[in-house]
Copies of this chain bind each other. A is one copy, B any other.
């Protein structure tokens, strides 16, 4: 086995490099990456919006375990929970490992990521992928888990009217997950071909320029636009809930009086449980592969990132094997 690998490396700018293969430390698995998806967080990283990050980005992946203290996983197709926890702080002891203050985050905080031929991850983070889920679906398990996280935080069901703001790749996953709850779902977005992925799932879609705010029980803001919160606050009913999925480099401003007077709840929502995403795929068979706009070999990663930044793009996947 070679001692070097190809990887995308960010250090002020993104380059394709030949680098030393990572070594698994105690408790870690070494994983040979099959594919990895480009997420908005990766686009923020290469814009320099995530201060201090230098290394290999990428956190949505499917691969194969080369070595691991958990021998049962060796040779199997896996993905992995991206937060590496200390397992000893208050947060970890409360079962909130994803919020460990000393966590590493694959490709985001203090751990090289998945845009490489190999990566390492704590063995306990490794999640086996059932045979029925192919690689092109499995690469979307991480963002699908982030969509499922909403249901972990807020009760959603047939009694509720829900507005989804946004039609990007995360928004579409959220739409599919919400639609399965039976809620009365409306999605508003800018791009007709992206909205069509929602309307094909039976979701009512409205183009942004024809949208009129009304009183939704819940609004999910996943537009990636800093004006999304203001729009959400206009559209939610008194005592309703706004779920925030978008992060921005700049401070967001909002009408606090509206939040207080109408007693609105705002909930930040980030990562979710991989088992929820895998169960969702099993039960609902979402057409995940339709989210993939294009696939590139890892060595053409720069071109792939350029494609991912185009407004029409949904998921761009990098294949390490090709």
**Which A residues form the contact surface with B (CB < 8 A)?**
90-91, 96, 99, 101, 153, 215, 226, 229, 237-239, 244-249, 251-270
| 9 interchain pairs, CB-CB under 8 A | A99-B262, A229-B256, A244-B256, A244-B260, A247-B260, A248-B257, A253-B254, A260-B268, A261-B268
Contacts of A101 in B (CB 8 A): 238
Contacts of A153 in B (CB 8 A): 263
Chain B residue at minimal CB-CB distance from A50: B257
Which of B229, B237, B247, B256 meets A257, CB within 8 Å?
B247
Asked if A265 meets B262 with Cβ closer than 8 Å, knowing A238-B96, A253-B252, the reply is: no
Contacts of A261 in B (CB 8 A): 247, 268, 270
Contact, CB under 8 Å: B229 / A246: no
- Tell me whether chain A's interface is mostly helix, strand or loop, or mixed: mixed
Contact, CB under 8 Å: A246 / B265: no
Contacts of A265 in B (CB 8 A): 265-268
Asked if A269 meets B262 with Cβ closer than 8 Å, knowing A96-B239, A253-B251, A253-B252, the reply is: no
Asked if A263 meets B267 with Cβ closer than 8 Å, knowing A91-B238, A96-B239, A251-B253, the reply is: yes
Which of B248, B255, B256, B263 meets A256, CB within 8 Å?
B248
Contacts of A252 in B (CB 8 A): 253-256
Contacts of A247 in B (CB 8 A): 256-257, 260-261
Min Cβ gap A143→B in Å is: 14
Give the CA-CA distance A257 to B109 in the complex, in Å.
Answer: 15
